[in-house]
Amino acid sequence: MTAAARHEVCAVALAEAFRGDGEILASPMGILPGIAARFARATFAPDLLMSDGVASLVDAGGAVEGWLPYRTVFDTVWSGRRHVIMGAAQIDRHGNQNLACIGDPRKPKAQLLGMRGAPGNTINHTTSYWIPSHSRRVFVAKVDVVTGVGYDRAAALGPRAARFHELRRVVSDLAVLDFATDDRSMRLVSVHPGVTVAEVVEKTGFPLSFVEPVPTTRIPTADELDLLRRVIDPRGLGAKEVAS
């Protein structure tokens, strides 16, 4: 079997975000997060619930197991029984995310998706992020609009209002990051095989915490690669989201 490609390392790193989540709704936004959630369900997180992207809950075998119209999605968000992986046009060192627009939101240079569900997601349940192109354009000192709430904003709300806020991990095409620092700022957890710490630091627009030596992101096992290639992503769609 050929060695793990970068997108396969990313898929398993994203899947690891769901470890231990139990019987909650996994909502992956994007192709590789979707592969990751299905991989997690097929291995170490078998109880995850997943939508077909329309209005049904579909089990690992493809059987419809429930009705999930948007109204029920919102109820699930506010109940907290959900873990979303979102993207970000911008993200800062506290994990504030911007999906809405670039520039002044009253007259943006580039209108993007808007608020969508990001404010409600981040204040109500666990959130992770997938950044397919790690650069200073995305990892910025200050986001233009806060759609998803970061740790500094959550802390300012006080412990009661922010008690359901959790940013679990950020996976990029270069590295795994999290917020397990004293001040809840972003930390470099591991670099993907073939990536240097210097490259990640250089492509991040704010100071990153890390402790040397920074480990290498775990490489999928032969069994995991076989599952990814044969069952989870036989058409190789995950490769399209990551420049190799």
Point out which residues bind another protein (CB under 8 A): 54-56, 67, 69-71, 74, 77-78, 100-101, 105-120, 122-124, 145-149, 153-154, 156-158, 160-162, 164-165
End-to-end CA gap in the chain: 18
Of 160 and 230, CB closest to another protein: 160
- DSSP helix/strand/coil, 141: coil
- Amino acid identity of residue 216, one-letter, is T
Shortest Å, Cβ 112 to another protein:
7
DSSP state at residue 217: P
Neighbours of 142 (CB within 10 A): 13
Distances (CA, A) of 140 to 15, 22, 199: 25, 33, 16
As a whole number of Å, the CA-based R_g of the chain is 17
Shortest Å, Cβ 85 to another protein:
17
Of 120 and 205, CB closest to another protein: 120
Of 79 and 221, CB closest to another protein: 79
Shortest Å, Cβ 240 to another protein:
15
Shortest Å, Cβ 188 to another protein:
25
**Of the candidates 158, 162, 173, which has an alpha carbon nearest to the alpha carbon of residue 127?**
162
Of 161 and 201, CB closest to another protein: 161
Of 42 and 162, CB closest to another protein: 162
C-alpha 100/C-alpha 110 separation (Å) is 9
Of 29 and 227, CB closest to another protein: 29
Whether the bond between 28 and the residue before it is cis, its omega within 30 degrees of 0, is: no
Q: How many helices (H) and strands (E) does the chain have?
A: 7, 12
* Degrees, nearest 5: CA angle 165-40-221: 125
Question: What does residue 157 show for φ and ψ, rounded to 5 degrees?
Answer: -75, -15
Phi-psi region of 69 (alpha: psi -120 to 50; beta: other; left: phi over 0): beta
Shortest Å, Cβ 191 to another protein:
30
Shortest Å, Cβ 123 to another protein:
5
Shortest Å, Cβ 99 to another protein:
9
Of 161 and 180, CB closest to another protein: 161
